[in-house]
Structure 1
Amino acid sequence: MSIRMATGAAAIALFAVTGCATKNWVNTQTAPIVDKTNNLEDRTAENNRNIHDVDARATTGIQQAQNSANSANQNAQNAQQASGQAETAANDAVHRADSLGAVVTGLDNYRSLADVSVNFGFDKAMLTKDSKDQLDSFAAQLGGAKGYIVEVTGGTDSAGSQQYNYDLSNRRADAVVQYLASKYNVPAHKFYLIGIGKDQEVAPNNTADGRHKNRRVQIRLLSNMGGDNTQQQPATNPGGSR
């Protein structure tokens, strides 16, 4: 029995020694693989970070390039729009001059029966009570006129841009036309309306009184010299009836 126990103990000891040796061998063999795996994971992680950084920089660069392209495109559109507006203003000025010339030519066959001038506040296009009173006195003479037209010319002082003053002078002339048409039933085709802006001053603009005089609408009642209500009537209204 002692021999058997001794033999068993020896076998267990041998197994333990053999097991430890095997474990050490396995550890020795697998350690380099684990190290390589860890290194590979580290390099993979670093590569992923690098790829992410490159992608972020590329995205930022693309966005900046797109923004620059959008800005350049907007600048080009603004320049094109400004060019178009300048061309339109130039064409309007030419058309305005031609229209005024046509009015003057057409008016050669008319004689003046009455005239009045109403003034406006700075940058205003509303008729004052005094202006309405003057227009009422003027309109009292319409009933006896034959073959007549009403010439309405709006003007401004020298403040502001040319195009703005054209618009403002037209609005002032519009106010006069609307008042006479609505209150005295003057037909639209009877009006010659034009806004000349600051092109033709009636007083120097270097004084307050002069600027006030230039902020005006001049109205003239004109009758055809032949007395024919259809002959020499203007076919169209250059300034547009309002």
Structure 2
Amino acid sequence: MDLTAVSKSTLLTNKRDFLKAIIPYLILTTYIFISHFYSSLKLILTNVMAVRLPKYNFHLELLYSPGFALFLASIVTIGIYRLKMFQIKSCIIRTIQQVYPASMATIGFVAMSSVMQQSGMTDFIATNVAALLGSWFIIASPIIGAIGGFMSGSNSASNAMFSHFQSTMANKLHSSELLYATSQNVSASNMTMASPSRVALVASITKNSGNEGQLVRGILPISLTAMLIIIIFILCLNFFT
């Protein structure tokens, strides 16, 4: 047997497998890049198949949404790997099982944020916190985002719950809304790593169920250190802007 021929055949097979695996990601990133950076295409995608309900201040640009890019990549993957119907059904069921907890949490936090906003709770709390802490609230801003990320295990849920509050605080203190939004988003994303719900999911996938406490104790110091670095950077940005 010619070992050189065998190794070349294996190499070609590996290249084909690699290309098959990378194509969906290329489609995903290419679609998002083109749709967001070419103004003429963006204009089309934001108007075709767009759902708008002005009465409820709701709009959804289906073709412009990153979710559509993910859907397109999934369809291409099904074709590339020639998945059977039972395999597609299994993927859909597993996706729903994984998405359900996070989506329900996000919906709940969005609802909570909307109720707080419409009832005037957010504005009332922001006014009193601004009077109490003043400009020092910039230190509390990333901590609030981190708490939301740790509790919910979702950056989206944390932002839904606290982003309006952060924006209101920025207005009360005559500070940059972008700075507070950045503080909220980055600190929440960082702290989701140590969230019990995220850790439980990882433990389940890696067959380490029962060791969640040990995993949290291992990742929590890293997340707290990262949060401290975020606070320092936010303070510097606030000082120099």
Same fold? TM cut 0.5: no
Question: Could you tell me the TM-score, scaled by structure 1's length?
Answer: 0.27
User: Max radius of gyration: which structure?
Assistant: 1
Q: Which has the higher contact order (CA 8 A, sep 6+)?
A: 1
Higher strand share: 1
